[in-house]
Amino acid sequence: MHRVVITGQGAINALGRSAGETMQAMREGRSGIGALDFQDVERLSIAIGGQIRDYLPEAHFSRQELTLYDKFTQFALLAAAEAVAMSGLEIGEELSERAGVVLGTSGGGLQTQDENYRLVYQEGKNRVHPFVVPRLMNNAAASHVSMVHNLQGPSYTVATACASSNHAMGQAFNLIRSGQARVVLTGGSESMLCFGGIKAWEGLRVMSRDGCRPFSKTRNGMVQGEGAAVFVFEELEHARARGAEILAEVTGFAMTSDASDIVTPNKLGAVRAMRGALRDAGLAPEAIGYINAHGTGTSANDRTECAAVRETFGPAADALMISSTKSMHGHVIGGTGAIELIACLMALRDGVIAPTINYEEPDPDCDLDVVPNTARERPVRAAMSNAFAFGGLNAVLVLTAFG
Amino acid sequence: MSDTVQDNVRDRMVAILAEQAVLEPGDIRMDATLEDLGIDSLGLVEAIFAIEEAFEVQVPFNANEPAESEFDISTVASMVRAVENLIAAQK
């Protein structure tokens, strides 16, 4: 089996326009959550989110490109360009056939759907733009990334709701491990902050009106965000041969299904996923210094996740740090695991643990070290990233410091 | 509120909860809890949607803290009273 390392990262989200800006905000424990701003927002009862402020598509893309790029595609392309530039990778003809892209998304081109449904249903128009379908399709972002970077190997999109990015990165990991690809751009992208996107979530009554407070006794629901993060996953020998800077090694991945309930989380499914990822990485529970939690800020998720961590890690649960960066960037649904992997890389490379902000009051059901409110400096050799989706689909990654 | 309006709210509430519980309206006791009726959290969210549609009210309910919402879900009777109050508050 081939070893897999990360040689580039890129991001755009409410915390920043790059992976570097995102890490800086996480170090400072800054919130990217504020008042939502889009058409018909006044008809929503949920008025806050992790929206990317003052984002101007025209500043990044030509008019011709924008006719084909939904916002989720734009975010993916911006993050991918940053990741590829950082990696220093040159994708020539030979490598191109062994290079691919696997991205997670849940809503795909939801903004495009929302705008065009509004046109035909609300405004009564009988004609839509000819590119509505290629803009809205869930694989649009992966396809455009493949075109821009000439990736001619395996490329596809994974949609498993809130676990999409982690499932995608796990697929990328296995493609390289098995020798089917040498380089895979991977991560996820989501742009659900539009009237229809939030209206649908309102219905489920799990959204908070006033803030995202994971693990705090005062938490009352999730807050949504938007954005993307993309990483360059590369076969170790390939990265070494070209003298690439290695950010971390991807050492473990596991996925499980609760097979129980469509929305209520299940501790056993989460436990099996975390145990599976540890086994895959060949690590004992004590080896994990930091877990980036799924940590949505709903009462059910946080309670269940903490119980699952206790069961998986046993006494080692009291030694590790676990935080939810959703408190800062919001829940980016199909892109969230990718943005959260940046916190894992920061922990492994810089020894800085991103905090869980908005933490107000301890909850006996969440009695782990959740790194409340302030980032912490502590060296970490191995980190875990959790994603537990609606539908009971779980995906957990383990990264290890390299060198 | 007149007696007939109150009866009407009660009957419609019973119908909504009976449908969600897959029971006959005659089997819904006023002191029954959601647990007695076998209505889980997802069923409750659906019932509240049906209540909002039926009575054209906004029910203050957050699935994260069902017990602490202003909307008292302890029994069928408490929910009927809560809906009556919401309707009265609109007038």
Q: Are residues A166 and A305 in the same domain?
A: no
C-alpha to C-alpha distances, A290 to A28, A400, B79, nearest whole angstrom: 18, 11, 44
Identify all chain A residues contacting B58, using CB atoms and an 8 Å cutoff. Answer: 45
Q: Which of B45, B49, B64 has its CB closest to that of A299?
A: B64
Chain A residues within 8 Å of chain B (Cβ atoms): 45, 203-206, 208, 219-221, 261-264, 298-300
Residues of A in contact with B42 (CB under 8 A): 261-264
CATH value at residue B39:
1.10.1200.10
| Residue A188 and residue A319 in one domain | no
A226 with A107: CB under 8 angstroms?
no
> Which residues in chain A have Cβ-Cβ distances shorter than 8 Å to B48?
205
Q: Which of residues 16-75 of B touch A (CB under 8 A)?
A: 41-42, 45, 48-49, 58, 61-65
Number of domains chain A is built from: 2
Handedness of CA A238, A240, A244, A246 (dihedral sign): positive
d(Cα A233, Cα A98) in Å, to the nearest integer?
A: 12
pLDDT tens sequence across A301-353: 999 999 999 999 999 999 999 999 999 999 999 999 999 999 999 999 999 99
Test A220 with B45 for CB contact under 8 angstroms.
Answer: no
Domain range for residue B29? Answer: 3-90
Both tokens of residue B34? 């959601």
CB pairs < 8 Å spanning A and B: 32
Confidence label for B69 from pLDDT (cuts 50, 70 and 90)? confident
pLDDT for residue B90: 85
- φ, ψ dihedrals at A374, nearest 5°: -125, 135
Please report which confidence band the pLDDT of residue A166 belongs to, taking 50, 70 and 90 as the band edges: very high
pLDDT attached to residue B70: 83
**What average pLDDT does range B12-20 have in this prediction?**
96
Mark whether A202 and A331 lie in a shared domain: no
Question: Which residues of chain B make contact with A221, given a CB cutoff of 8 A?
Answer: 62-64
Say yes or no to pLDDT of B3 above 70.
no
Residues in chain B closer than 8 A to A304 (CB atoms) = none
pTM (predicted TM-score): 0.94
- Rounded Cα gap, residues A321 and A170, in angstroms: 23
Tokens, residue A269? 């499914």
Domain count, chain B: 1
pLDDT of residue A344: 98
User: What ipTM was reported for this prediction?
Assistant: 0.76
A141 part of a folded domain: yes
Please check whether residue A215 lies inside any domain of the structure. Answer: yes
Residues A81 and A221 in one domain: yes
pLDDT tens, position by position, A367-393: 999 999 999 999 999 999 999 999 999
Shared domain check, A314 and A203: no
Which chain B residue has its CA at the smallest distance from A221's CA?
Answer: B64
- A355 and A258 in one domain? yes
B35 contact partners, CB below 8 Å, separation of at least 6: none
Distance of residue A209 Cα from the nearest chain B Cα, in angstroms: 10
Residues A29 and A78 in one domain: yes
The pLDDT score that the predictor gives to residue A179 is 98
Shared domain for A302 and A209, answered yes or no, is: no
Instruction: Give me the domain span that covers residue A185.
Output: 4-241
A333 φψ region: left (φ > 0), alpha (ψ -120 to 50), beta (else): left
CA distance A222 to chain B (A): 9
Q: Are B62 and A205 in contact (CB < 8 Å)?
A: yes
- CB–CB of A49/A330 below 8 Å? yes
A171 located within any domain: yes
Mutate which of B64, B70, B71 to test chain A, going by most A C-beta atoms within 10 A?
Answer: B64
pLDDT higher than threshold 70 for residue A197: yes
Q: Which residue of B has its CA nearest to A300?
A: B64
- Could you tell me the CA-to-CA distances from A69 to A18, A57, A126, A180, A289 in Å, in that order? 19, 10, 22, 29, 39
Burial of A123 (0-12, 13-18, 19+ CB in 10 A): exposed
Residue A119 is part of a domain; what is its CATH number?
A: 3.40.47.10
Question: How do residues A256-315 score in pLDDT, each as one tens digit?
Answer: 999 999 999 999 999 999 999 999 999 999 999 999 999 999 999 999 999 999 999 999
* Whole-number Å distance between alpha carbons of A146 and A165: 17
Same domain, A57 and A97: yes
Name the residue of chain B whose CA is nearest to A261's CA: B42
- Same domain for A268 and A195: no
| pLDDT given for residue B65 in this prediction | 78
Is A281 part of a structural domain of the chain? yes
Q: How many CA atoms lie within 13 A of A96 on its CB side?
A: 12
Q: Answer yes or no: is pLDDT of B1 > 80.
A: no
Q: Which residues of B touch A298 (CB under 8 A)?
A: 63-64
A248-257 sheet: strands from edge to edge: A155-158, A99-104, A183-190, A227-235, A4-13, A248-257, A393-400, A382-389, A290-292, A321-323
Does the pLDDT at position A4 exceed 80? yes
- Which residues of A are tagged catalytic? 162, 294, 331
Judgement on whether residues A190 and A300 belong to the same structural domain of the protein: no
Query: Does some domain include residue A136?
Result: yes
Which of A209, A241, A273 is the C-terminal boundary of a domain? A241
